[in-house]
Chains A and B, each alone.
Chain A
Amino acid sequence: MNLATYARRNLFRRRGRTILTIMAVTLAVVIFCAIRTFIVAWNSGADEAAADRIATRHKVSITMQLPKHYIEELREIPGIKAATWANWFGAKDPKERLPFFAGLAVDHNSWFDVEDEMSVPPDQLAAWKETANGAILGDQLAKALEVQVGSRLVITSDIYPGDWEFKVVGIYTPRRKTVDRNTLVFRWDYLNNDSRAVYSKEHLGWMVSRITDSAQSADISRRIDAKFDSRDDQTLTMSERAFALSFLGGFAAVLTAFNWVSLVILLIMTLILANTLAMSVRERTHEYGVLRAIGFPPGHILGFILGESLLIALVGGVIGVGLVALVINHALGPAMEANMSGVFQHFFTPGWVLVVALGAAAVLGLVAGAVPAILASRLKITDALRRLG
Chain B
Amino acid sequence: MVPFQYNARSLWVRKVTTLATAFGIALVVFVFAGALMLGDVSRVLAAAGRADTVIILRKGSDAELTSAIANDYLGLFRGPPQVSQAGGVIGEIVVVVIAEHADGSGSSNVLVRGTPPEGIAFRPEIKIISGRAPKPGTNEVIVGKAISGRFKGLSAGQSIDLRRNRPLQVVGEFTAGGASYESEVWGDLDYVRNALGREAVVSSARVRLNSSADFDAYRQIIETDKRYSMKVMRESDYYEKQSQQTAAFLKTLGLVVAILFSLAAMIGAAITMNGAVAHRSREIGTLRALGFSRRAILASFLIEAIVLAVVGGIIGSALVLVLSVLVSFPVINFQTFSEIVISFHATPAVFVKSLVFSGVMGLIGGLVPAIRAARVSPIEAMRA
Within the complex, what minimum Cβ distance (angstroms) separates B359 from chain A? 18
Inter-subunit contact A159/B61 (CB<8 Å): yes
Within the complex, what minimum Cβ distance (angstroms) separates B192 from chain A? 11
| Chain B 245-277: CB-based contact to A (< 8 A → 1; otherwise 0) | 000001001000100110111011011101100
- Comparing B72-80, B90-98, B347-355, the segment that makes contact with chain A is B90-98
> Which residue on chain B has the smallest CB distance to residue A269?
B264
**Interface check A126, CB cutoff 8 A:** no
> Which residue on chain B has the smallest CB distance to residue A279?
B275
Residues of B within 8 A of A278 (CB): 16-17, 20
Within the complex, what minimum Cβ distance (angstroms) separates A175 from chain B? 28
Known: A14-B278, A250-B339, A251-B332. A232 touches B268 (CB 8 A): no
Inter-subunit contact B95/A61 (CB<8 Å): yes
Inter-subunit contact A272/B24 (CB<8 Å): yes
A195 to B263, alpha carbons, bound, how many Å? 59
> Which residue on chain B has the smallest CB distance to residue A236?
B98
A23 to B268, alpha carbons, bound, how many Å? 10
Inter-subunit contact A248/B97 (CB<8 Å): no
> Which residue on chain B has the smallest CB distance to residue A283?
B279
A250 to B260, alpha carbons, bound, how many Å? 26
**Interface check A340, CB cutoff 8 A:** no
A282 to B31, alpha carbons, bound, how many Å? 31
A254 to B339, alpha carbons, bound, how many Å? 12
A342 to B329, alpha carbons, bound, how many Å? 26
Inter-subunit contact B61/A158 (CB<8 Å): yes
Residues of A within 8 A of B337 (CB): 62, 247-250
Do most interface residues of chain A lie in helix, strand or loop, or is the interface mixed? helix
Known: A90-B66, A275-B21. A62 touches B271 (CB 8 A): no
**Interface check B71, CB cutoff 8 A:** no
Known: A264-B261, A271-B20. A64 touches B330 (CB 8 A): no
Residues of A within 8 A of B27 (CB): 264, 267-268, 271
Residues of A within 8 A of B105 (CB): 252
Of residues 55 to 76 in B, which have CB atoms within 8 Å of A's CB atoms? 58-63, 65-66, 68
Residues of B within 8 A of A20 (CB): 267, 270-271, 274
Within the complex, what minimum Cβ distance (angstroms) separates B194 from chain A? 12
Residues of A within 8 A of B272 (CB): 275, 279
Question: How many residue pairs at the A-B interface have CB separations less than 8 Å?
Answer: 162
Of the four ranges (under 10, 10 to 19, 20 to 34, 35 or more), the interface on chain A belongs to 35 or more
Known: A261-B31, A264-B261. A64 touches B229 (CB 8 A): no
> Which residue on chain B has the smallest CB distance to residue A60?
B97
Inter-subunit contact A257/B329 (CB<8 Å): yes
Residues of A within 8 A of B20 (CB): 271-272, 274-275, 278
Return the contact of A31 from the options B21, B229, B260 (Cβ within 8 A).
B260
Within the complex, what minimum Cβ distance (angstroms) separates B368 from chain A? 9
Residues of A within 8 A of B96 (CB): 61-63
Known: A249-B106, A250-B337. A62 touches B331 (CB 8 A): no
Which interface residue of A63, A246, A250, A253 has the most chain B CB atoms within 10 A? Answer: A250
> Which residue on chain B has the smallest CB distance to residue A22?
B267
Of residues 215 to 232 in B, which have CB atoms within 8 Å of A's CB atoms? 229
Residues of B within 8 A of A59 (CB): 98
**Interface check A221, CB cutoff 8 A:** no
The 4 closest A-B pairs by CB, nearest first: A250-B332, A249-B108, A250-B339, A275-B20
Query: A21-B271, A257-B34 known; 6 other A-B pairs, CB under 8 Å?
Result: A60-B98, A161-B60, A232-B163, A234-B164, A246-B98, A274-B20
Interface residues of A (CB under 8 A from B): 14, 16-17, 20-21, 23-24, 27-28, 31, 34-35, 59-64, 90, 92, 156-162, 199, 230-234, 236, 246-254, 257-258, 261, 264-265, 267-269, 271-272, 274-276, 278-279, 283
23 contacts between A and B (CB under 8 A): A14-B278, A17-B274, A20-B271, A23-B267, A24-B267, A27-B267, A60-B161, A61-B96, A61-B98, A90-B66, A199-B198, A230-B164, A246-B109, A248-B337, A252-B108, A254-B250, A257-B329, A261-B257, A268-B28, A268-B261, A271-B20, A271-B27, A278-B17
